[in-house]
Amino acid sequence: MKIAYIDVVGGLSGDMLIGALIDAGLDHNLLEIELKKVISQGWDINVNKCFRDTVNASNVTFNIDQPDQIFTFEDFYKIIFNASIENSIKSKIVGVFKLLENAEKKVHSDDREDFHLHELGSLDTILDVAGFIIGLNLLEIEDVSISSIPISNGQIINSHGAMPSNTLAATSILLDHNITFRTLKNNTIGELITPTGAAIVCCLVNNFEPIAFIPKTIGYGAGDKDIEKYTNVTGIWIGETNSKTFHGNDKIILLETNIDDSTGEIIGHVKQLLFDNGCLDVWTTPIFMKKNRPGVKFSVLVEKILEEKIVDIIMKETTTLGIRRSEIERHIAPRKIIKISTIYGDIKVKLKIIDGQMIHANPEYNDCLKISKVNNIPLREIYNLVNIEAQKLFS
């Protein structure tokens, strides 16, 4: 399977992502032809090679005839609907704009009538979003993964006023999608992650875990800012995996022990304690031991880094005198965690996504249980509601 790994070296935006694809081999003339099927006139694309610190990268700009023209989200949706492109591409573009719309309304206005797009309302926004998604399709990339995201410092001034350089909309999108952040040593000031860049990766990335793949080409897209002693680029590594499943966290540890002299209450307590301390899974199996004594086989899946801690807990909390250990490998289905808004509040949902399609949605039990109790609604109805909303979001 052909994949793209996004290496957020210094920043992330729509034009940087497109620049990285072009730098990795995407024909920008072919991209322009396909983008004309979305917006037929009023713009052209410009690609320049440049350096950001010591890295040679491609900088992409869209030359727009009427740069002051402002679009609403409804305008964008109409443009996408009328575009002469595949429905699968349309749905991904719409998904990105849905994330942007929800985030902008969440952080800037609760009143739809008083809601304005400001910077995001330009033609440049839809060209960035559609351009990257069409580019992935032209390169026949089936899945996307991503590195951690850099956090900048200070504040910026835009049409909304003064705000943190990690803008409210971009941060809101990233926090809702289980993205890993990292701080910077050089206290870089300014906006490094745009809302558009954040929405694109959070909509398209199916796997936020480490992956194993064989890279074939690498490209770098340059940000507009040339910051002294800072590599303001986004990298894209294009390569192949051997199957449709990712192999992040390939090797994990299976710990097992047999216990025949503990009560059910103790077993239940230890099971919850292990989950609370980061185990991937914990389960028990009824067994018969020596002299036909009834017992329990305790099985625990844990990442290697936590093994010593978990062994210590099992030894201290149970009567066992020994724990069996084996290193195992597993296939991991691509998944992502999102928040779905319902009439009762937000609920986290884990999505299983294969070949870009949502296969299964699993609502977070604790979120559903809390809403069920507060509103006195059967738990199964909350589950049904969340599944319906998930289907609407990804249909």
pLDDT at residue 118, rounded to an integer: 52
Report how far residue 211's alpha carbon sits from residue 248's, in angstroms, rounded to the nearest whole number. Answer: 4
Q: State the average pLDDT for the chain.
A: 87
Residues 308 and 345 in one domain: no
Tell me whether residue 310 is in a domain. Answer: yes
Structural domain harbouring 304? 251-329
Q: Domain for residue 39, yes or no?
A: yes
Within-domain flag for 246: no
pLDDT in tens, 327-353: 888 877 777 788 888 888 889 898 887
Domain membership flag for residue 120: yes
Question: Last residue of some domain: 187, 210, 240?
Answer: 240
Question: Alpha-carbon Rg of the chain, whole angstroms?
Answer: 24
Name the H helices within 263-305. 264-276
Q: Say if 93 falls within a structural domain.
A: yes
- DSSP-assigned letters across all residues of 165-202: SS-HHHHHHHHTTT--EEE-TT--BS--B-HHHHHHHH
Give φ, ψ of 389 to 5 degrees.
-65, -35
Could you tell me if 278 and 64 are in contact, meaning their C-beta atoms sit under 8 angstroms apart? Answer: no
- Of 309, 329, 349, which residue constitutes the final position of a domain? 329
Handedness of CA 69, 74, 77, 82 (dihedral sign): negative
Say which residue, 167 or 121, is predicted with more confidence.
Answer: 167
From 283, 308, 329, give the residue that closes a domain: 329
> One-letter amino acid identity for 325?
R
Is 245 part of a structural domain of the chain? no
Q: Which residue has the higher pLDDT, 121 or 375?
A: 375
* Rounded Cα–Cα distance for residues 15 and 36 (Å): 17
Q: How confident is the model at residue 198 (pLDDT cuts 50, 70, 90)?
A: very high
Looking at the fold, whether 300 and 357 belong to one and the same domain comes out as no
Owner of token pair 């609407």: 392
Residues 64 and 163 in one domain: yes
Determine the Cα–Cα distance for residues 357 and 343; give it in Å rounded to an integer. Answer: 25
Are residue 229 and residue 259 in the same domain, yes or no? no
- Residue type at 248 in one-letter notation: G
Tokens of 112: 């739809």
Share above pLDDT 70 across residues of the chain, in percent, rounded to a whole number = 90
**Across 62-67, average pLDDT:** 92
pLDDT of residue 336: 79
Where in 98-247 does DSSP place strands (E)?
Answer: 143-146, 149-151, 155-158, 161-164, 181-183, 214-222, 233-240
Q: Do 199 and 346 fall within a single domain?
A: no
pLDDT at residue 81 tops 80: yes
> Tokens 């402002």 sit at which residue?
70
Domain match, 299 and 358 both:
no
86-95 — which CB contacts under 8 Å span 24+ positions? 86/137, 88/356, 89/130, 89/133, 89/134, 89/137, 91/394, 91/395, 92/133, 92/203, 92/204, 92/356, 93/126, 93/129, 93/130, 93/133, 95/203, 95/393, 95/394
Please report the pLDDT score of residue 242 as a whole number. 64
- Give the pLDDT mean for 362-383: 92
As for how many domains the chain has, the answer is 3
**pLDDT given for residue 250 in this prediction:** 58
User: Residue 352: what pLDDT?
Assistant: 85
Query: What are the structure tokens assigned to 388, written together?
Result: 């319906």
pLDDT interval class at 285 (50, 70, 90): very high
Q: Is residue 55 part of a domain?
A: yes
| Statement to judge: residues 7 and 128 lie in one domain | yes
Residue 93 shares a structural domain with residue 171: yes
- What's the rounded Cα separation, in Å, for the pair 386 and 362? 9
Percent of the chain whose predicted confidence (pLDDT) is above 90: 55
Residues 102 and 153 reside in one and the same domain = yes
Q: Residue 111 — pLDDT band, cuts 50, 70, 90?
A: very low
Q: Do 324 and 345 lie in a common domain?
A: no
User: Do 160 and 288 belong together in one domain?
Assistant: no
Are residues 212 and 128 part of one domain?
yes
Interval 201-211 mean pLDDT: 80
Q: Which CATH number goes with the domain that contains 281?
A: 3.30.70.1380
**Residue 324 counted as domain residue:** yes
Q: Which two tokens stand for residue 300?
A: 């625990």
Does residue 195 contact residue 173 with C-beta atoms inside 8 Å?
Answer: yes
Max Cα separation, the chain?
A: 86
**pLDDT for the residue 245:** 46
